Structure 1
Amino acid sequence: MGDQSARIDSTGEQETSSTRPEPVRDAYGISNSFLCSEDQDLWSQLHPSNVAVGTHKELESLRKKLKEDYGMKDQLWKLLKRFLQGHDQEHVVNKDFLSFHGFIAVTKWFGSFKRMKKGNTCYCLQQVENLMKKGGVKRGKSFVSWFAGFITNDEAYKYLRKEKCGTFLVRFSESLSSEGGFCVAVKLKDDEVLQYQIKGDYEQACNGERYNANLRLNSELKEARDIGPCTNIVEFVDALRCGVDIEGDFETFCPGLPLNATFQGYS
């Protein structure tokens, strides 16, 4: 886009930063703005549902488009589909449809669907695939990931409270969902679980040849400055596990997370 201060809203109108109104946000805090014109074009090309034309699209039309444009693998689609629908799990009546807000949320967490300058892929697919390949370890025939996806603060506590010290997981942040934020939770002594927010710059993440969300701990702690900025969530977790001087050891992946079955067999 020539004017980087211009934004495209859900109606298709383009406004400058000086004239555009504040973006409307849904109950989850997700803004109604596309990240770029390519995402708007993709959304407009998807087949509209007969439920609410313009606010819902058929998931199958997105799958076909991504497979046609980028040769997307079926296993990668399984995880992306979970992310696209997971944001609205409690509100989805028909699982065959994708909401506009789910589409926007995924681009804030993993980047735009626009084609990268190098390689036959887009930013979003590259980042989701990177998570599938590097977001865990093989244990025998199983793949155990540290990424929990859409679980709440309370659910993270329940997963971790009985685990040994240093066990951790990463999830989508509820309070930072409008900013593409994550949250890392780690088990301390007794039943204590500490949770840190992770915040980046989703608006600038896809402006270069490589994806770079500039992820950092969203904390005033002096020690938090030792982590990042990191280009993506996988790199961020690698930095955490290098023994940074914040509370929590980040040694062991939390077992039994809901996405492990989806990760299985991809790496």
Structure 2
Amino acid sequence: MLQQILRDMYVDPEILAELDEDQKQTLFCKMREEQVKRWKAWNDKLGDEIIKENSKETNKKKVKFLLGIDDEPWVWVMGEHENDKSIEDILREEAAEKARILAVKETEKLREEVRKEMKAQLIEDYVDLTATIEKDLPKLRIEDDVDIYCSVEQIQAKIHSIPKKNNNNYSINYYSSINNKFNDASEVKNTRKVAQKVALWEQKLLNDKTTEIFQKIQMKHQQVAKEAEEEEKRKEQVWREQERKAKAAEQQIREIARRAREEHKLNSSLNLDSTCGGTNSSGVPPSRQAVIDWYKNEEKNRRAGIDSSNNVTPWFHGLITRREAEKLLLDQPCGTFLVRLSEKIWGYAVSYRAQEKCKHYLVNAIPKYSFVGNNQKVHDTLDDIIAFHRTYPLTGGETLQYPCPRISTGAIEELLN
């Protein structure tokens, strides 16, 4: 088998599944050695000069294997080194990286949308502020050009220092409005803090998106694994069903072969040249009536199935079929038996209730009584062979213990009348 694998460089999956890890690694190394051996042989056959000429003409790259400390091709088997990651860890890291990339894309898209909204809102607020100032702010006289370079706090101080006119509501509202506008303008100084808050928000959004996408990928992997497991179970059931059918077919073939062997032994053991009282007793009985006539003419005179009191023995059931015998023995305890006339040979069949099933043994009645087969003990009468095997076991290891009761006497009356 190994030579064939190395010759074909192919391993049947069923054979590979039966090997353990050490055997798989050994086989892999052997196949690798065979590849290197073939490559060296091919290299030697071509010769160094031809290889050089071909390399100059075609500019093909040479294959050079990395050698280990033993000057043999270096081989690395994934998972053997202590620092190697398992396939589960690799898949988990790939899923996390994929989730991170997708989350970055989604976050970037959302950031652009938020920027557009904020920009539109800022433009709208600026327009409103400009319109309000142009409408409500009176023309103020700038006493000094230096005011242009004042800070927001200095301008607010100047506004607060302007006297208010006689509790004029308009003046109060006006100055209050101006103060609020400058307070809003002072908030521009906090843009750095806002940017930091936005960055934190974006980072949190990125983490949430990454976690969400990673969980979806993990759920998808689990679903795929579950479906693969269910498919494997289904295939296992189909395989078991096929195996059961194959075993049943094999058992049927064995049963047919067993019957063929028995018939062959039977035909070999029969004396085809013997005759009894003008009745042809050679070969297989031609019909059911021939068996009845044979019993009436021959076996009845030999008192087969009849005791010393001229009564039918309890275990003799006459001419009944194999199926009828099994039906009678079905509800009986193990060890129960009966004797019936056989339509296969000129003789009888002993049907026995074993532990698991009913067994049937053929008894040849010509010229004396013995079980079919080689080296079987010969008995003078049918009663002798039954009495003998009440003590000594049959070929299957059973002894005849309890006669099976008869339900109908029709088969007996057919023979005796």
Q: Determine which structure has more spread, i.e. the larger CA radius of gyration.
A: 2
Structure with bigger RCO (C-alpha 8 Å, 6+ apart) = 1
Given the two structures, how large is their TM-score scaled by the length of structure 2? 0.28
Instruction: Please identify which structure carries the higher helix content.
Output: 2
**Length-normalised TM-score, structure 1:** 0.41
